[in-house]
Structures are given as C-alpha cells and as structure tokens.
Amino acid sequence: MRVLVVSSGNSNSVSPFVMDQAEDLKGLGIDIDFYVIKGNGMRGYLNNLSSYNEKIREFKPDIIHAHYGLSGLFANFQRKAPVVTTMHGDDINLKRNRIFSLIASILSHQTIVVNELMLKSLITNNVRVIPCGVNSRVFVEYDQTLVRKELKLSQDRKYVLFSSSFSRPEKNSKLAFEAINLLKNKGVDCELLELKGYSRIEVAKLFSAVDAALLTSIREGSPQFVKEALATNCPLVSVDIGDVRDLIRVSSKNYIVDYDAKEVAKSLETIFIDNERSDGRKYINDIDSYVIARKIIIVYNNILKGKSK
C-alpha cells in the first residue's frame, strides 16, 4: 500500500509526531512518501496545487493522509486518491481554522480526531478517535544521575520541563513561570526548562533528568508531551485540557490542576518532596505508537475495501 502524507512544512520540517507516525507505518510495511505544503493561509496553500498534482502522478498513492484541517482541505483538491484527514486540535479549537476543518471532514473519506471532545465539533459521522501514539522504544526511563551529567544539569537543583517553547502563547508559559517564582520565593532551588532545540533522544533523556513535567496550555488536542512523560515515568502536573485527564487517570504521581499558580506550585512542591517517579509507563500499552499505527492501517484497508464513503 502506498500512502502520501500531506502536511504543512513552514517550519522547514514535518511535525515530529507526524514523522514518528509515518515511520511506524513504514515499519509495518506501508510505502510512505511526503508532500510538504509551503505557504500560509488558503491562498498560500493553493500555490502548491501544481506540484502536489505532479507528486500524485509520480507516486501514485492508494491513500492520501493529511494532518490538520487546512492540509486536509488542500489534500481533497484532487479526486484520484481517497483522503484521510487527522485533526489535531487547533484546526478544530480555533475559530479561524474551524470552517476549513469542517469542509475537509465532509470531503475526506475518513476523518480522525485525537480525542473524544473533538467529535462534538464535527458534522459528519465518518469520524474515528485515534490519538497519536508514543514511541515506547525511544521514550524510556534513564538513570537520572547519568543523564543530568550528560546534559550538564546540576545534581542538586529541582528541574521542571515545560511542554514547549516559552514563546508559544497557547502554551501559556506565563502561568508556569508564576508557579516557579512562587517556589523560588519559598527558597526552593528550581528551574523551568524550555523544550526547544533538542533531538528526540535528548527529549527522552530530559524527561528522566527532570523532577517533573509541566503543561499549562490553553489549547491542546491529545498532547504528545503527556504521553512521553508517562512513557518515561516522569511525574506530571497539567491543567485539565484535551484528553490529559483520561491519559493520566490511573497513574500515580501525576496531577490535574486549575489555571492557578499557587495550585501548580503546590503540586510541583509535592512532587519535589515525595522524590518518587511516576508509574505511567505501565499504562501506555493502548497508546504505543505501533498499536496506533495498526489502527490507522485498518482505516486505510477499510477505505480501499469500500467501507468508507
């Protein structure tokens, strides 16, 4: 089976979780190629149509799998191959993106959303909930002393790993810094680390190096950050966003908090005092990336067998 993955590439690279999913599909025997869209907005996307159609003629895909709603709409500007569109969050949650995503979901042979809440925003019944998986071969727990030495981190300081770049407004680093400053004011030697510019292996090691992971976002679908924290047994403090509550519901040393700096700081301090790792890895079997890839292949096969649209 030949699958063309369509995704925006304005950051000069495909999103890591899109690339990870494609690699898992390759590992299960799917022939994968990529079409990376360059440009902003629908007008910018339309400038790619000629090269997109050329790519389809060359690769001859059986399925086109688009990631995010605008890419899904773009992917449907051809009718040679059926389209699967995965919605990841902002394509549904942000009003300016929603109309494009709604149209994409109607046109696509199958729409995938990454959490149950997103189902309510779509007007087609041809939708399945399949979150992105976590690579449990990459995201494993390392010896904290060794990885701190490797990453040049202090053995004595308390470290908290923030979920993304501090500059992304939707990730709400303001709340994270407020909580960290409250702890510092109490005499806790702690530091908030920005998740930016690391390789995948380095990110996996960071989860073992830090004392806690922190997610304070105002928008999320099914955050990979949380799944990676679970896979590495890293204690987590998170606001109740996306499917986080479902992901961590049975694991220990993980906390759901309100958008309140004092509550965030209190949960982080509890983790520091307990000084114990989570048991999250025991609960990731259903979201292992190979399990998720097999579910996606079932979607592909059903389309090719005529069971969808």
161 and 274 both lie in a single domain: yes
In this prediction the pTM is 0.89
240 and 150 both lie in a single domain: yes
Please indicate, yes or no, if residue 309 is contained in any of the structural domains: no
77 and 159 both lie in a single domain: no
Q: Which residues of 50-76 are buried (b: 16+ CB within 10 A; e: fewer)?
A: eebeebbeebebbbbbbbbbbbbbbbb
Please indicate, yes or no, if residue 210 is contained in any of the structural domains: yes
Task: Assess contact for 200 and 138: CB atoms under 8 A.
Answer: yes
The residues facing 33 across adjacent strands are: 4
Question: Read out DSSP for 53-96?
Answer: HHHHHHH--SEEEEESHHHHHHHTS--SS-EEEEE-SHHHHSHH
Query: DSSP state, 136?
Result: T
215 and 97 both lie in a single domain: no
CA torsion sign for 210, 259, 252, 164 is negative
Residue 308: per-residue pLDDT? 57
164 and 58 both lie in a single domain: no
Between CA 125 and CA 110 the distance in angstroms is 9
Please indicate, yes or no, if residue 177 is contained in any of the structural domains: yes
Residue 309: per-residue pLDDT? 56
Residue 278: per-residue pLDDT? 97
- At 3, which helix (H) or strand (E)? strand 2-8
Please indicate, yes or no, if residue 165 is contained in any of the structural domains: yes
126 and 194 both lie in a single domain: no
96 and 162 both lie in a single domain: no
Pair of tokens at residue 136: 């449990």
**In the sheet where 190-193 sits, what is the strand order?**
190-193, 158-162, 212-215, 236-239, 254-257
The Cα angle at residue 46 between residues 1 and 41, in degrees rounded to 5? 110
Residue 117: per-residue pLDDT? 84
Number of independent structural domains in the chain: 2
Residue 154: per-residue pLDDT? 98
Please indicate, yes or no, if residue 164 is contained in any of the structural domains: yes
Residue 236: per-residue pLDDT? 98
Please indicate, yes or no, if residue 271 is contained in any of the structural domains: yes
188 and 279 both lie in a single domain: yes
Q: What is the pLDDT along the chain (309 residues), one digit of tens a residue?
A: 999 999 987 655 678 889 999 999 999 999 999 999 988 777 788 889 999 999 999 999 999 999 999 999 999 999 899 999 999 988 887 888 888 999 999 999 999 999 888 888 887 778 999 999 999 999 999 999 999 999 999 999 999 999 999 999 999 999 999 999 999 999 999 999 999 989 999 999 999 999 999 999 999 989 999 999 999 999 999 999 999 999 999 999 999 999 999 999 999 999 999 999 999 999 999 999 999 999 999 999 999 998 555
Residue 11: per-residue pLDDT? 58
278 and 241 both lie in a single domain: yes
Residue 288: per-residue pLDDT? 96
Helix (H, G, I), strand (E, B) or coil at 159: strand
| CATH code: domain of residue 180 | 3.40.50.2000
Please indicate, yes or no, if residue 91 is contained in any of the structural domains: yes
The residues facing 213 across adjacent strands are: 161, 236
Q: Which residues of 109-147 are buried (b: 16+ CB within 10 A; e: fewer)?
A: bbbbbbbebbeebbeeeebbebbbbbbbeebebbebeeb
8 and 128 both lie in a single domain: yes
Q: Which domain holds residue 25?
A: 2-133+288-304
277 and 153 both lie in a single domain: yes
Residue 186: per-residue pLDDT? 96
151 and 274 both lie in a single domain: yes
Please indicate, yes or no, if residue 138 is contained in any of the structural domains: no
